[in-house]
Structures are given as C-alpha cells and as structure tokens.
Amino acid sequence: MAFRQTIAKEVACEGIALHAGTQVRMLLTPAPPGSGVVFIRQDLDGASVPARYDHVSETMLGTTLEFGRASVSVVEHLMAAVAGAGIDDLVIAVDGPEPPVLDGDALSFMELLDIAGVKASAAPRRALKVLRRVEVTHKDASAALVPSSSLQFAFEIDFASAAIGRQTFAFTFSPEDFRREIAPARTFGDIAQLEALKKMDRGHGASFLNTLAIDRDRVINADLMRFPNEFVRHKILDAVGDLALAGAPLVARFEGLRSGHALNNALLRGLFADPANFQWVTAAS
Ligand SMILES: [Zn+2]
C-alpha cells in the first residue's frame, strides 16, 4: 500500500439517485497519479469538482461537493468505498446530481471497484499524520481526531427510538475489516420524516430496498439488516467517506459522538486550519 493506486479499467453502473429519485449513469475511469478523486457532471458539459473537504457546500442530507457549475450530492458512501479499496486517483463521471445509491451501503460500490480491479502506480502515497487533538462540537455532538499510530474509528450514537437506542462501535481500519464490518451497513431514515423530506424535494429515491426505515420503535424492513448494530456502523461508514475528502489517508483515531456530515467536515477544516496539527508522511517514514 506504499504507492498511489487507481482502477485497472473503466467500469460503469446505473441506478436511482437517493434524493433526486432519477436514474443516474456512473462511469469510473482510471486517473493519473496525484490527480486525486474528481467528479465530473457529464450532463453539465463535463463540469468537474475535486473530491475535497474544501469543496463541501452542503451537509444536511448527505455531503455535497460544489465547484463552479458542478455539484454532486450524497458522495459519502461512494467515497467510503473508494477509500476502503485503497484508491487514491479516480475520475467519477455521473449524468445527474448524485451517484446512484445502489444498496444504500458502500459494499455495492466496492463490488463495482472489484470488477475494475486496482492498479498501483510508481508514485509514493503520502498520508496525513495527526500530531495533536483536533475537536469540533455542536450541542451534544462532537467529532475529534486524536494522534494514533494507525487509522481507528470509535463512534457512539444515542437515538430516542428503541429500534436504534444507544450503540457504540470501534474498529481499526484495514481494507479487509472495512469490507467486512463497515461497508455492508446500510443508510437509515425515519419514515415519519420522509414526507417532510419529499416536500423539500429530497428522498425521492429512498426505498425499502436501499434504506433501513424506522417507524417509531421498530425497523419496518428489518429483514434487510446485516448487523444488530448496523446504525452505528453506518455512521462510521459516513465518517470514512467524509474523512476521505482530506485527499489523503489519515493516520489518526477518529472519535465521533452523535457526529454527522456537518461536524465531520468541520473537523477536517479544523485540522487543516493549523499546519501544526498534522504532518505529511510516506509509507517508508
Ligand atoms: Zn450514509
């Protein structure tokens, strides 16, 4: 894992967009080392936006990237899969406002990346080593990056619904563990909020096939569940995707307490706000 990687060949898929509800075609293409992950809107004359934290414009119902005329929403599950697969450089072309949601997880994107295969370059991969604690808080939620010798995640959520309740999960990142423990965890939502969401012209693509639907104290489509504590695992999946917008792998421990896309992005902005917070390292150092 010491060298930057892209995919070995291009691969395409098609599916429904979570919020727009429209059918979207997505094409993943290999990219030269150092170019990072870039989204292209084929339906907007190829306008592009780099997948970086400083291009995040909206975090309310997913993470949205925006640059010039190009904006792409709900990038976090795909970005988690890209990071989980160890891909550094990639072009992601979509012909709509979001990547397809597929199964509401990261695993379906990883299976697509499996088809493409991974190709290493001769360019060394650099990582961002966190040197001192960076923390952001909002009301009763917080997110922190803490110095650590490896990439670790610890998360706690506490929902009023008995279907979720209090859940904690911790894991040390490896491609194998990410694929097994985190990538299959599906997105979830409150059925009572879905109508409000649709009035905001969002959530049109949410279905019982791609979203765990909470109705008061039960999960309506519980047959879809892959883990008893799937909700906290999905929150880690979101954090992996949001932190992938750092543009390089992190060497740090992430600690999330009821954190979401807004805090995850604020955390990266906090990290980069002071050069004393981090250091660039190569695999050899
Ligand atoms: Zn999510």
Contact 127, 248 (CB under 8 A): yes
Residues 6+ apart with CB under 8 A from 46: 40
What's the CA-to-centroid distance between 277 and ligand 1, angstroms?
A: 27
Same structural domain for residues 146 and 275?
Answer: yes
Phi and psi of 33, rounded to 5°?
-60, 135
Same structural domain for residues 37 and 147?
Answer: no
pLDDT for the residue numbered 283: 66
CATH number at residue 271: 3.30.1700.10
Q: Answer whether 0.75 is exceeded by the pTM.
A: yes
CATH number at residue 104: 3.30.230.20
- Using only C-alpha atoms, the chain has a radius of gyration, in whole angstroms, of 18
**What's the total number of domains in the chain?**
2
What's the CA-to-centroid distance between 121 and ligand 1, angstroms?
A: 30
261 is catalytic: yes
pLDDT for the residue numbered 195: 84
Query: Which residue, of 70, 102, 125, is where some domain finishes?
Result: 125
How distant, in Å, are the alpha carbons of 8, 74, 91 from that of 30? 7, 22, 6
Same structural domain for residues 91 and 177?
Answer: no
How distant, in Å, are the alpha carbons of 151, 216, 265 from that of 142? 18, 25, 12
Q: What percent of the chain has pLDDT over 90?
A: 96
What's the CA-to-centroid distance between 173 and ligand 1, angstroms?
A: 18
Same structural domain for residues 68 and 151?
Answer: no
What's the CA-to-centroid distance between 122 and ligand 1, angstroms?
A: 33
Same structural domain for residues 158 and 242?
Answer: yes
Rounded CA separation 264/285 (Å)? 28
Same structural domain for residues 64 and 47?
Answer: yes
pLDDT for the residue numbered 70: 97
Low-confidence ranges of the chain (pLDDT < 70): 1, 283-285
Same structural domain for residues 149 and 39?
Answer: no
Please write the tens of the pLDDT for every residue from 45-84: 999 999 999 999 999 999 999 999 999 999 999 999 999 9
Tell me, rounded to whole angstroms, the distance of Cα 17 from its chain centroid.
15
Same structural domain for residues 101 and 236?
Answer: no
Same structural domain for residues 133 and 220?
Answer: yes
Catalytic residue among 55, 77, 234, 261: 261
Q: Which domain holds residue 62?
A: 3-125
Same structural domain for residues 52 and 139?
Answer: no
